[in-house]
């Protein structure tokens, strides 16, 4: 998400959400065990995590539902995911 305008995204989140809320995150990346573990470790034990492999098995999509307390928490999670090489946030 290099070059992504988090401040504009934060404004849109503030306008559309009320906190505390359940927020859904989605990430896509090459299906590698290390990357899956790194992405899953961003989230707490209470997060609801679903994975789906592409038909060829080369890529994986992870959808996570997690209770968040603020826009800053959402932004922080996206920034942590961005530090993991090859992870695309949707």
For 27-73, the pLDDT digits (tens) are: 999 999 999 999 999 998 999 999 999 999 999 999 999 999 999 99
Residue 2 pLDDT: 58
Residue 12 pLDDT: 94
Q: Are 88 and 26 in contact (CB under 8 A)?
A: no
Inter-axis angle of helices 6-16 and 71-82, nearest 10: 140
pLDDT tier for residue 77 given thresholds of 50, 70 and 90: very high
Secondary structure (3-state) at 56: coil
pLDDT over threshold 70, residue 3: no
- Domain architecture of the chain: domains with CATH: 6-89 (3.30.70.260)
pLDDT over threshold 80, residue 6: yes
């Amino acid at each position: 998400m290099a070059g992504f305008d988090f401040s504009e995204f934060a404004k849109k989140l503030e306008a559309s959400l009320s906190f505390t809320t359940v927020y859904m995150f989605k990430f896509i990346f090459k299906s590698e065990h290390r990357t899956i573990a790194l992405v899953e470790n961003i989230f707490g034990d209470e997060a609801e995590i679903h994975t789906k492999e592409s038909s060829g098995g080369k890529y994986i999509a992870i959808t996570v539902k997690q209770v968040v307390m603020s826009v800053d928490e959402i932004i922080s999670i996206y920034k942590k995911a961005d530090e993991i090489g090859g992870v695309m946030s949707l």
